[in-house]
Amino acid sequence: MLRNISLSLTGGTSVVITGPSGSGKSTLLHIIGTLEEPSNGIVEINNINPFTLSEPELAAYRNSVIGFVFQEHHLLPQYSVLENVLIPTLAFKRGTDATERAVQLLKRVGLTDRQSHRPAELSGGERQRVAIARALINQPDILLCDEPTGNLDTATTDTVANLLFELHRAEKTLLIVVTHNLSLTSRFDRHLQLVDGTCNIERDG
């Protein structure tokens, strides 16, 4: 699906990927997120090719290096907001308690008073904010967002987008967002456009 794509991205930058449906945006994002292995070519993150790692190592790597925000928020309805944020910390045992950071993140996304609520009790925008907090809980180097505002109205889209940029700057992550929403593209450092699996660099910061 993807052909001749060569990219080099540095931490702290923000990248937006656009393109028509079926152009391979999500596939590219999944490859960067190590969810899919490319049939050809090399991916290196922090000088490591993640696809050479074993399954447990890759999972651990993804857990600590990458954070995801999807179009469908995929919050688990049975857990409270705070618990949802904490879920990625359970994948591997760490000595520290992440609750404090989760509370802080929720404060930063403006959901302090919603900590004990269930996702079903939140609005769409709130849910996506929880998803962003969840993606950042393990302080990832890369934050990948697949149509994060695809299901939101314009007002909420702006709020979520602002929040994304704010947190990206605060956490100094590499932010990669796939979106159809062209109004957002100007706010990113770089803009890549995918057409038929090939990459056109629209703007390079």
Partner 1 sequence: MPRFSWNSLKHFWQIHVIVALCTAVATGVLAGALIVGDSVRGSLRSLTTERLGAIQHALLADHFFQPDLLQRENKVPAILLNGTVVAPQTQTRASKVNIAGVTDDFFTFWQEDTAPNLNKPAGQPFNAIVINEALQNELSVQVGDTLLVNMSQAADIHPEFLLGERDAANAIQSLRLVVSDIIPTKNAGRFSLQAHQSLPFNVFITLPVLQKALGQVDNVNAIFTADTDPISAADLSLTLEGLGLRIKTHGHYFDLQSQQYLLKPILSETALTVATENSIPTLPTLTYLANTISANNKVIPYSTIVALPTDEGAFAKLLNMHTTEAQQLAYQQARDQKKEQVELEKDKLIKEKRKLRSTEKDREQAKKIIRDLELLHEILHRPEIILNMWAAEDLGVKVGDEIIITYYSVSAEEAYVTETAFFRLKGILPIEGIAADRDVIPEFPGIHDSNDMSEWESPFPIDYTLVRDKDETYWDEYGATPKAFMPLNIGKRLWKNRFGDLTSIRFGAAPDTDIHATRLHFESEFLRKIQPEQIGFQFLSLQADGLQASAGATDFGMLFGSLSGFIIIAVALLIAMLFRLGVEQRSREIGILQAVGYPLVKIRRRFLYEGATVAGIGSLLGCLLAVGYAKLMIFGLQTWWLPAIGTPFMELHVDPTSLVSGVLISLAIVMISIRITVQQLGETSTTALLAGETDFAEITLTQQAKQTEFSTRMSILKKIVTTIVVVLFAFFVIFDKWFIDTFGTWIVDPILDFLLLTLTIIGVGWDAFGRWLKSQRVPRRFNRLRFALKNAARQPGRSTTSIKTISLACCIIVAVGVNRHDAPPETEYAFVAESALPLHHSLNTPDGRFELGFSDKISELLSKSEIFPFRVLPGEDVSCLNLYQPQKPQILGAPDTILEEFPWYKLKLVQPEGGRAPAIGDVKSLRWILHHNPDDDFLIQDEFGKPLSLELETIENSLFQSQLIISESNFTKYFPSQSGYRFFLIKTPPTLREETAQALEKTLSDYGFDVTSASERLASYRAVENTYISTFQSLGGLGVLLGTFGLALIFFRNIIERRGELATLRAFGFRRQLLSRMLFLESCFLLVVGMFIGIVAGLVAAFVSQGHLPDFPWLSLTITLLSIFVFGIIANVIAVAVALRSPLLSTLKSE
Q: How far is the CB of 111 from partner 1 (least distance, A)?
A: 13
Between 62 and 191, name the residue whose CB sits nearer to partner 1.
62
**Residues that contact partner 1, how many (by CB under 8 A):** 49
Site for partner 1 (CB under 8 A): which residue of 41, 49, 94, 97? 97
Q: How far is the CB of 197 from partner 1 (least distance, A)?
A: 13
- The rounded distance, in Å, linking the Cα atoms of 32 and 77 is 28
Strands 174-178 and 190-195 turn out to be unpaired
The answer to the question of residue 1 lying near partner 1 (CB under 8 A) is no
Q: Which of residues 140-179 bind partner 1 (CB under 8 A)?
A: 146-147, 150, 178
Name the residue type at position 201.
I
Q: How far is the CB of 59 from partner 1 (least distance, A)?
A: 5
- The rounded distance, in Å, linking the Cα atoms of 36 and 20 is 20
- The rounded distance, in Å, linking the Cα atoms of 172 and 170 is 6
Q: Which of residues 24-43 bind partner 1 (CB under 8 A)?
A: 25-27, 30, 33, 35-36
Of 156, 198, 181, 197, the C-alpha closest to 16 is 181
